[in-house]
Amino acid sequence: MKNIFKTILLSVVVLGMHSCSEETLLDLSPIINIAEEDAFTTADYVLASMNGVYNAAAIGRYNSTDNNGGRGYIWGAAFVEQGDCRGEDVVTTATFYGITYAATYDVGSANNVYYWIDGYRLINRCNLMIEGVNTAVANGVITSAVGNDYIGQAKFLRAITHFELLNYFARCYNYTPTASHLGIPYREVGINTQVEIDSEILKPRNTVAECYTKILSDLNDAESLITNTSVTKASKNAAIAFKTRVYLQKRDWANVITEGNKLTTYSLPASPGTPFILASNFTNTESIFSLSHSSTANPGTNGALGAMYGGRRLVAISPIIWRNTKWLTDDKRRDATPLTGMVQNISGRIYTNKYKDVTNFTDGSPIIRYAEVLLNMAEANARLTTPNLTSALTMLNTVRNRSLATPATQAYTATNLNTPTLIVNAILTERRIEFLMEGRRWSDIQRLEKDDIAPSAGIPAKLKNAEPPLAAEYTLGTEYTGPRLQLAIPADDFRFLWPIPINELNTNPTLAAQQNPGW
């Protein structure tokens, strides 16, 4: 039997997977095996194919020897872990994430290589899904309404995956005045023939501007086509929410606000920990899009959030953010109550407790929450040509106040945040606190490289890799001033960007000629 995803084998030249065997590429359990010629011949098969795409997004395929599947590339866990470990607000307690944390990666290091490989493998599955669904609709297998829903979901996943890759392998949108600098190849063709390989391999990297245009086009299509409303799959609202993220990075402040205002059915639960309680991972009023896992389908002990951040505690919260004085000492996000709190206090060292299933690894991956939409809109309002500081302050406080012990006296006011610079900096700090251990830090560092208010200047200095902080270093009351032995990397350093993987370079002469400078 040929699996529908055997078609991925034919794209190995384009995706840089020439070293993997056919058998390995077909071993994608628990994706259901369907003969390629039958994959879109029944409604049940079409549904199974769509579920296979989500399985690939949540678990991925780490390498040819990992018989247990993937480690959560690109949306299941890896985007959280990699996004955190590139920043300064976490500390790696072992060498597991050391290459990412210390920026010692190269063209062959696994974490950045598989971000690229599993990202483009997922994109190709989305493209094959779109083409197969069109065939199924044309043949009367499913209705056009059902087909449009699947196509919208596939376009959503295609858009956000290109966008995620763009943030690691390319410079920020405003790096050049018209975003004419190199982005990544935006692939819209399902590759399952040699002719398609030959055609796709000739395509160079799109510019960043071209990538954003295509990403937003796909998200607009997704918004109009999707009828699914489940939090665990792409929805109309997920497409809208994600557009606020894209427009924020594009610095299109007006459209951030326009899109965010469409989301009128969401609200923040009274407790900031509600989205991270297993029983309400997908049933709370805040979560917009999260990928689900089960005891038999998860990124495993070397990838799952419950394992790496929970049981094994391979990444700690850094004293740098823990002792930030804008994070008030009685903030509810500091709650270390066993089992239910948001952090773990282990002999004085602080770890996250957002991912609680240390046994079966069933925590959802929180890809976008309404709190982010509010903070995106708050920042956009503060950055308008004519700033709307009132709206910006209201939205910032909406997120922050629910975690405060006494909002009446602790909330930010128009007196102490009375300029765009002050309020933007407060919002950026709030993002670091609110989305701590959710993988959001790197995208802010990357997008702010050329910022006019709060430039990131590069990868910040941080605590030394693979050395758990001393308990005393978590003492609250003052900012952390201890050693940061993992030195800062300036934004103009070649290591600020990940390199295109060697697998791709060896088989794709077009991209080999467009490697990121310095690599």
pTM of the model: 0.94
pLDDT tens by residue, 14-73: 343 332 322 222 222 334 567 777 889 999 999 999 999 999 999 998 875 554 579 999
Q: Residue written as tokens 């290591």?
A: 495
Tokens read off for 366: 């929180």
Peptide bond into 160 cis (omega under 30): no
Peptide bond into 299 cis (omega under 30): no
Peptide bond into 74 cis (omega under 30): yes
Helix axes of 370-383 and 236-250: crossing angle, nearest 10 degrees: 30
C-alpha 473/C-alpha 481 separation (Å) is 9
Q: Is there a contact between 456 and 449 (Cβ–Cβ < 8 Å)?
A: yes
Tokens read off for 264: 């009128």
- Predicted pLDDT of residue 37: 77
CA 273 to the chain's CA centroid: 20
Q: Which residues of the chain have pLDDT under 50?
A: 1-31, 67
Amino acid identity at 323: R
Tokens read off for 449: 């490289």
pLDDT tens by residue, 215-234: 999 999 999 999 999 999 99
The HSE-up count of residue 221 (CA atoms within 13 Å, CB side) is 20
Relative to beta strand 287-291, strand 365-369 is: antiparallel
Which residue, 96, 75, 86, is CA-closest to 308? 96
C-alpha 200/C-alpha 14 separation (Å) is 7
Q: Is there a contact between 501 and 16 (Cβ–Cβ < 8 Å)?
A: yes
Which residue, 271, 390, 437, 400, is CA-closest to 326? 400
pLDDT tens by residue, 489-501: 999 999 999 999 9
Q: What percent of the chain has pLDDT over 70?
A: 93
Q: Is there a contact between 64 and 19 (Cβ–Cβ < 8 Å)?
A: yes
Length of the chain: 519
pLDDT tens by residue, 446-467: 999 999 999 999 999 999 999 9
Degrees, nearest 5: CA angle 144-145-147: 60
- In terms of Cβ atoms closer than 10 Å to its own Cβ (0-12, 13-18, 19+), residue 386 is exposed
